[in-house]
Every structure is written in structure tokens, then in C-alpha cells.
């Protein structure tokens, strides 16, 4: 199988048309012999939607066969885990399926593309699926956008959510904050600050606009605190700052807040850093 050309045409290109159209290729497999794929990109399933699907299957049966890979005496799901879960709910004993001889890479490819083409992935699952495709098939976001029919900007914005604190990502997975909240929180570079504000969003039911306003105020306050003019510093700290700048022959930022503060020593090259370390005897 040519990976790049298959990936370029979506899920349909990964499953030969003859296999889908030829009834002889569709097998009826005992549901007890089928197991989920541990590498399934989707980690969370909406139980309510599975319930609706189960009722549909009960009334109309499984219209689209699952795609399976035989492993020993069992079959691993390549595509169609939602249908399998729904069928189990309503007690169906046997399921129509296409059994394909696939390597692990092809299984991953089909699973990823099937999930991306669905509309009910949460934003973190979608972002992780993009990341997996890019890494596994060594392609760029531009190429991926062409191959799955989504804009590069949409892919990039989605993948940026993976930079959020893991606890915030879990809130997105659980649906207690929205993707819009997640994008707003990306403006905060400190993970702990992202997490604390996400808790505030939940506790106070903040909108995305309100969240953005809070973040803007946070940065405004930080900027004001970091831009304290020399004439606002007490003579004692002015003297310390002057002595440190003379000692290290570089700019020193001295911040004092009650009984604590910090000293920042600027350097402008690796040689400059080494010079400062020598002064400190490090």
C-alpha cells in the first residue's frame, strides 16, 4: 500500500472498494471474538450517543461493516468501535465485518483518519490525532491539511491546545471548559496560572470573552509591576542595584515585594554568561 497516496484520499482509500462492495468479503463475526484496539486514538466515548446508536442498530441493524484485523483467534477493531460498543449494549451476538490483513502502521493510519473524519472527537483527541499522523508519516501541517481537507490554520490552532497544562487538557476532554477557553488560556505561559484560571472559569461559569478580559488584566498588572522606575525604588535597593551592576558589569533587575523579591542578571552571549559565572565562582 502506498502510504502517501492512501492518506491523501482519506479513509475510503485505505479500504479497497471491492472489499466494501463485494458481499462475499463481508464476514459475520461473533461479538465475543472482537476486541478494541489499544492504540485507538479516541480515548473517550459519549455514552449518550452510543445509546442512541444502539437503538438505531436495534431497529435497523449494522448497515456499515466494521473493519477488523485477525490476531490469533481474536479480531482487533480497526474501524467501527462505536458500532461494536452499541451492538453490545443491545445484545447483538454477531456483527458484519471486513477482515483485512494490515500491518500496525496501516491500522494506526485507518484509525486516525476514521476518527478525524468524524465530527464528535473532543478537541484534544483531534489535536493528538493530527500530531500522531504528522509524526508517524513524517508530513507537514500543510500536507496534512490537503490530505484531510481541513485548513492548515485549523490544524495548527487545534494542535496548539496540546501545549496547555495537562489538567486543563483534561477539563477540555471532560467538556467542562470549551475549546475557546482553551485557546484563550494559551496566552498564559505558566502552567499553574492556566490551571488556576481554568478552575475560576468553571467555578464562576465565565464566558470566553470574560476569560480573555481577565488574562489581559493579568498581563497589564505584570507589565506595571515589571516596569517600576528607578525613582520608585527606595535608596537602599537603588544602592544594592548599583553595586551589583558594577560587580557584574551588566544590567540588573531588582524587584522587591515586602519581605521577598528577585534579582535578575542579564547576559548577552554564552561568553558573557561564562564571565558572570566566573565572578560567582561557579
| Domain parsing of the chain, residue ranges | 13-105, 164-227, 230-279
Residue 21 has pLDDT above 50, yes or no: no
Q: Which pLDDT score, from 0 to 100, does residue 226 have? A: 57
The CATH number that domain 13-105 falls under is 3.90.1530.10
Residue indicated by cell numbers 475510503? 12
pTM value is: 0.55
Q: Report residue 106 as a C-alpha cell.
A: 496501516
- Per-residue pLDDT averaged across 73-89, rounded? 91
Do 124 and 162 touch, CB atoms closer than 8 A? yes
> pLDDT for 220-248, tens place per residue?
776 666 555 554 567 888 888 889 988 98
Q: What percent of the chain has pLDDT over 70?
A: 83
Per-residue model confidence as pLDDT tens digits over 46-69: 788 888 889 999 888 898 899 899
| CA 195 to mean position of chain CA atoms | 16
Does the annotation count 109 as an active-site position? Answer: no
**CA-based torsion, 137, 143, 148, 154: positive or negative:** positive
Whether pLDDT at 1 is above 70: no
Q: Which helix (H) or strand (E) holds 173?
A: helix 166-174
> What is the C-alpha to C-alpha distance for residues 80 and 56, in angstroms, rounded to an integer?
15
User: Quick count: other Cβ atoms within 10 Å of Cβ 90?
Assistant: 14
**If we measure between CA atoms, which residue out of 228, 221, 218 comes closest to residue 255?**
228
**Of 118, 207, 198, 211, the residue nearest 166 (C-alpha):** 198
pLDDT at 223: 65
Residue 259 cell numbers, joined: 519581605
Q: Please say whether the dihedral angle defined by the alpha carbons of residues 141, 147, 152 and 155, taken in this order, is positive or negative.
A: negative
Q: Which of 48, 59, 81, 126 is catalytic?
A: 81
Amino acid at each position: 500500500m502506498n502510504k502517501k497516496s492512501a492518506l491523501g484520499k482519506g479513509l475510503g482509500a485505505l479500504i479497497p472498494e471491492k472489499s466494501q462492495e463485494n458481499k462475499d468479503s463481508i464476514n459475520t463475526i461473533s461479538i465475543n471474538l472482537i476486541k478494541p484496539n489499544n492504540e485507538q486514538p479516541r480515548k473517550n466515548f459519549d455514552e449518550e450517543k452510543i445509546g442512541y446508536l444502539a437503538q438505531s442498530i436495534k431497529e435497523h441493524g449494522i448497515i456499515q461493516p466494521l473493519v477488523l484485523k485477525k490476531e490469533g483467534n481474536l479480531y482487533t477493531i480497526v474501524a467501527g468501535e462505536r458500532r461494536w460498543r452499541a451492538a453490545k449494549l443491545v445484545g447483538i451476538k454477531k456483527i458484519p465485518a471486513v477482515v483485512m490483513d494490515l500491518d500496525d502502521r496501516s491500522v494506526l493510519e485507518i484509525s486516525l483518519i476514521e476518527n478525524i473524519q468524524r465530527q464528535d472527537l473532543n478537541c484534544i483527541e483531534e489535536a493528538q490525532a493530527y500530531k500522531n499522523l504528522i509524526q508517524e508519516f513524517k508530513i507537514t501541517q500543510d500536507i496534512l491539511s490537503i490530505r484531510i481537507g481541513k485548513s492548515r490554520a485549523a490544524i495548527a490552532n487545534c494542535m496548539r491546545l496540546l501545549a496547555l497544562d495537562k489538567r486543563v487538557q483534561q477539563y477540555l476532554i471532560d467538556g467542562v471548559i470549551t475549546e475557546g477557553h482553551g485557546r484563550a488560556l494559551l496566552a498564559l505561559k505558566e502552567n499553574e496560572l492556566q490551571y488556576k484560571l481554568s478552575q475560576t472559569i468553571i467555578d464562576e461559569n465565565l464566558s470566553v470573552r470574560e476569560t480573555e478580559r481577565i488574562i489581559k488584566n493579568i498581563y497589564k498588572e505584570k507589565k506595571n509591576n515589571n516596569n517600576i522606575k528607578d525613582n520608585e525604588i527606595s535608596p537602599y535597593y537603588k544602592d544594592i542595584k548599583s553595586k551589583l551592576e558594577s560587580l557584574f558589569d551588566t544590567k540588573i533587575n531588582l524587584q522587591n515585594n515586602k519581605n521577598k523579591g528577585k534579582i535578575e542578571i542579564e547576559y548577552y552571549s554564552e561568553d558573557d554568561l561564562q564571565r558572570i559565572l566566573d565572578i560567582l565562582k561557579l
